[in-house]
Structure 1
Amino acid sequence: MKVKKVNPFLIAVIILVLTLATYLFVTSQNSDARLPIVKAAPDFTLQQLDGSNFELKENLGKIMLIEFMFTSCPDICPATTYNMVLLQDELKKQESFGSKVQLVAITFDPHTDTPEVFQSYAQRMGIDQSGWRLLRGDEAYTIEKAKEYGIGIQKLDDNQFVHTVTSLMLVDAKQQIRKVYRMGGEMDNTLILKDINTLLKEKT
């Protein structure tokens, strides 16, 4: 039986196509791995629970996951904080909590969220304040700053609030917003941790 000779040109074309396909795949994977820059994180000055001022620029060099919230929120905010505490525990395991990654909760309801109320909320939720910033300030100022971050907030007649559910921001070490997440039960902690670790690798 005569074996048909394979055309060397055809083999070369196949090898070229496979090489090109591999290159495009690897390139797309590397491109997807880098998180896009949304915009620079607007600076702010707010108060910590001990009354001292905190400016965003003080955290330059650290990755931050920032939550805009209020403690009397019945659903989305506590669910978000709960998920952030789970992330806190994972970050502790990889020894990046506090030193490299900081979690931030900013209340836009300072009249209700006094330092005592906010402190009680932190204890109830399991927040380890060694790696968190719990911040409050003038209501109008905080709401205006939230708007600069792209978050809509409306105060209702019963002194409750409604706000954009995409009120969770991932900020890199250069203080650029790199990702915006949905809050509450729709949070994907696996994805968020992956994104944080992507920024940690980028930082090094």
Structure 2
Amino acid sequence: MNKKPNYSYVGIALIVLVFGIIFIPKIIDRLSTGDVIRDESRSEDVSRAEKEVNKKSYKSDLVYIPNANGGKKKVPSFSFTNQLGQTITNKDYLGKVYVIEFFFTTCPTICPRMNRNLVEIQNEFKDFENFGVASFTITPDVDTPEVLKAYAEKYGITNPNWHLMTGNEEEIYKLANEGFYLYTAKNDEIIDGFEHSGNFALIDKEGFIRSRLKSPDNPLIYYNGIVSEEEGEDDEGIPQEITILKEDIAKLLKE
């Protein structure tokens, strides 16, 4: 006698078969490629954590900038006249943390912005006798000590270690281009007749150029001196670096 098939078991078998055909290959594929949701979540968390650790570690210490021979790049020897008619050399800055800029008093574009930022930094560290600024004019024929003094008064420069210096033009350009690699040149085709870097260099108490790292093997070297903290970024989306410069000055003052 023939028995009637049990349709409930047949239905379950069909469901299992369909599930296996549709879903099991997908699961196997995801396992073989490591593409599993739980693993994705954990991997993303680990990746984020690693990035945060790296970010903190490579930005926590200030590195030395290498020179052409692989040693530590140091401020070259210089001797110029400041706004008070005094002779100032690199030795006057030993034992001090200071910022270097190249500018000129008749500059109508970036120099006023740079020096307003430096005055803000000056005021931030007004209680530190071992903080200073070294400003070198690239138009020494125009920027006499008297002119530099008037400029200092106009911008509120009060730090006794902030020297605005003038002197031999060839020596100043050599100091900028060869000593610091801060580009400076005459150019009659632009509005003010000169081209120069809008960056600041940060110098430690022993006269070495210092900087934080942008990535584990990539030093920032110089700090954008044009964009202010209030602006946040310029029209091209370049962020301000005055905040990090202040942070790094504070670190060097503690060394």
Instruction: State the TM-score, normalized to the length of structure 2.
Output: 0.63
Q: Deviation per CA, 1:143-167, whole angstroms, max 9, x where unpaired?
A: 011112101211133872111233x
- Please state if 1:130 is matched with 2:160: yes
Measured on the aligned residues, the alpha-carbon RMSD in Å equals 2.4
Report how many residues are paired.
Answer: 177
Q: Distance in 2 between matches of 1:28 and 1:169?
A: 22
| CA-to-aligned-CA distance 1:123-172 (integer Å, 9 cap, x gap) | 11111142311111111110011112101211133872111233x11000
Structure 1 residues 51-200: aligned runs within 5 Å = 51-92=85-126, 95-96=127-128, 99-147=129-177, 148-157=179-188, 160-166=193-199, 168-179=200-211, 180-185=222-227, 187-200=240-253
1:188 positional shift? 2.6
The answer on 1:29 being equivalent to 2:56 is yes
Give the direction of change, closer, same or farther, for the CA distance of 1:113–1:36 in structure 2 (3 Å limit): same
Instruction: Write the letter of the residue equivalent to 2:167.
Output: G
Q: TM-score normalized by structure 1?
A: 0.78
Is the contact between residue 82 and residue 125 of structure 1 (CA under 8 Å) also seen in structure 2?
yes
Supply the AA of the counterpart residue of 2:186. Answer: K
How far did 1:30 drift?
4.6
CA shift, 1:29, in A, is 3.1
Distance 1:127 1:50 in 2: 13
Q: Tell me if structure 2 keeps the 8 A contact 1:33–1:198.
A: no
User: Which whole-Å CA distance do the structure 2 matches of 1:182 and 1:102 have between them?
Assistant: 18
Q: Deviations over 1:89-146 (max 9, x none)?
A: 1112xx21xx121122111111111112111111111111423111111111100111
What is the alpha-carbon distance in structure 1 between the residues aligned to residue 185 and residue 51 of structure 2?
46
**Which of 1 and 2 has greater Rg?**
2
Give, in angstroms, the shift of residue 52 of structure 1: 2.6
Q: Does the CA-based 8 Å contact 2:62-2:248 persist in structure 1?
A: yes
How far the C-alpha of 1:71 sits from its partner, in A, is 0.9
Provide the C-alpha distance between the structure 2 equivalents of 1:118 and 1:55, rounded to a whole number of angstroms: 17
Q: Which amino acid aligns with 2:225?
A: M
Partner Cα separation in structure 1 for residue 122 and residue 159 of structure 2: 10
CA 1:110 to 1:31, structure 2 compared with 1: closer, same or farther past 3 Å?
same
| AA of the residue aligned to 1:197 | A
Question: Secondary structure at 1:133's aligned position in 2?
Answer: strand
Write the distance in 1 (CA, Å) between the matches of 2:146 and 2:51: 55
* Runs of at least 5 residues in structure 1 that lack an aligned partner in the other structure: 1-21
Check the 8 A contact 2:225/2:241 in 1, yes or no. Answer: no
